[in-house]
Structure 1
């Protein structure tokens, strides 16, 4: 890290475009139609970068999107232009830096030149085309957050802006299906905290409570129409939700509880808060948000299956109605190595996978 004052990456990208990239393009390639943006991977795209982010693979950067024929023809010349003529620093940060761990690796300016179709294929696992429910279920939410997050600094073609608008949120039927699947995850495990504790397994009860807390957080992101980022930023993204101030004390309490009765009390408060949030969407007729006993067993739960059924009844799309309640890829895959291979996941969903 340098001693330069911290400037968020989104602001550095804006400055890089306005003070360096735009003037260079205007002089060397007048009339060039392009889009400039900060999108894709990186905490700065989500607006979550801090001074800690600057210790590696970080600095002023942006992405240029050109029509495919221009990108193929001009990429070498533009790469040389930026390598030769970008200022050495911007607000005290180098405009050329190494990526990766090789201390002797090449130092390059981070102004990447793409054609939009190729970039989207890389990020989402294939060209967009006419997206149906199966394609939507194959997109990891983190990748959708990367494509629709960040900032567009200039769009001379309008194509990038249009793509981001098209991917801004799920189609209504897909959204309802994903919500039903997320409630299903809760329905399947909500009784386990009590059952584990009943046989003296407080550790298992606590681990299950942690899983339920995570699923409730992701459910709230879905309910408030926000793509869930990967694990490092899940809590930060959740904290931005309107429901977070009301729900966070219950979630923290459930995680911190040392005994099952305390754990159950906090989880039940969380369930009722999220159930009320569901009812506020108007997606289904109101479902009683009160917790209740789990059959004749001495544990209190929401019986989240009631919300599953209510939502599933509103899904009319034939393909979605025919699928099991496993949902999108990041509702049934929890491997980073898999979630960073969107082509594999998209093919699995399109081919009738889980």
Structure 2
């Protein structure tokens, strides 16, 4: 059987089968978890949680019960050569995978909060980008009321101030890592230099996602998604060369990639003009200058922070959002309340920054 991408299969399944079972206004989509939601599924993906499936989002709990009963009774055993019922991780049984839910409840479960009620700066910073992709990626096959489309539009990208702060955090992290790499090279710590080269390559890729107004997926699809970004054809060869170069040669390749990102910065229209330059590392203590060649990351940090309108966010040290602070794996993205806890921390930090405490 020829492989059909899961998102295409879901659209056909809804159009040819599921829509005929639903008598009420609804949204039909394929969102949430799964490689097919991001468009990265392959034949390997069929070994679990893959097949004809969709979400049907309705307006009330009464509609949920009525539609769920009709779907349960009306689905065929197969569609396009694929079984309609297979093992469900959620139920622990063999079941169909047409999820019927109230729209607000489904979105709240997917994000961990209701975006129409509590989407403040702290929530933006504490929500993993992969979790935002659960709602903004995928496909919508029908939206009778327009509510789902409006929610996806609301979550499509960060407010400008949050965007500036995350970019400032990205450059801040680059500025911290570059002299560490150079010191490792200087002291013949080859392993340390290689680890920091890899970190700098990852930070450059994260900056590219932010510049492109594109949420980064978690690590399994990070590289695949990066390949679709506009700067990837220019930057990818430099990063690949840096990762395979001798440690002493990697830094110059990373700098070339960072200069490309620095040159793209002004096109964003977020700050005063700021141009990239590479030069010796100024330690900032005792007028010390080391011969390590680093990009002027601090200039981008300063320009971005100066352009933030919210005084509390502007005053908050740019340590990063959740994806910049930690590895946002499955446990953080889906299975724990760490984003909720981190939102409280960000909220407290913003409050203290606002009061100067």
**TM-score (normalised: structure 2):** 0.90
Moved more, 327-336 or 86-95: 327-336
Q: Match of 1:233?
A: 221
Q: CA deviation at 1:258?
A: 2.2
Is 1:45 aligned to 2:37, yes or no?
A: yes
Choose from 3, 6, 9 the match for 1:9.
6
Choose from 274, 278, 292 the match for 1:287.
274
Q: CA deviation at 1:57?
A: 1.1
Q: CA deviation at 1:209?
A: 0.7
Whole-angstrom distance in 1 between the partners of 2:35 and 2:41: 5
Q: Match of 1:316?
A: 309
Task: Check conservation: 2:238, 2:256, Cα contact below 8 A.
Answer: yes
Superposed CA RMSD in Å reads: 1.9
Count of aligned pairs: 340
Runs (5+) with no aligned partner, structure 1: none
Q: Match of 2:58?
A: 66
- 1:155-205 deviations in whole A, cap 9, x for unaligned? 111110110011111111111111111111111111111101111101100
Moved more, 72-81 or 56-65: 72-81
Q: CA deviation at 1:231?
A: 0.4
Whole-angstrom distance in 2 between the partners of 1:99 and 1:82: 16
Whole-angstrom distance in 2 between the partners of 1:121 and 1:282: 33
Q: Match of 1:223?
A: 211
- Structure 1 segment 41-190 matched on structure 2, within 5 A: 41-67=33-59, 69=60, 72-100=61-89, 105-128=92-115, 129=117, 131-190=119-178
Runs (5+) with no aligned partner, structure 2: 283-288, 353-357
Task: Check conservation: 2:277, 2:296, Cα contact below 8 A.
Answer: no
Whole-angstrom distance in 2 between the partners of 1:83 and 1:5: 28
Task: Check conservation: 1:251, 1:267, Cα contact below 8 A.
Answer: yes
Whole-angstrom distance in 1 between the partners of 2:89 and 2:103: 25
Task: Check conservation: 1:36, 1:63, Cα contact below 8 A.
Answer: yes
Q: CA deviation at 1:22?
A: 0.6
Whole-angstrom distance in 1 between the partners of 2:127 and 2:160: 16
Q: Match of 1:352?
A: 349
Q: CA deviation at 1:77?
A: 4.2
**TM-score (normalised: structure 1):** 0.91
Whole-angstrom distance in 2 between the partners of 1:352 and 1:81: 49
Whole-angstrom distance in 1 between the partners of 2:107 and 2:90: 27
Q: Match of 2:187?
A: 199
- 1:38-60 deviations in whole A, cap 9, x for unaligned? 11111111111111111111111
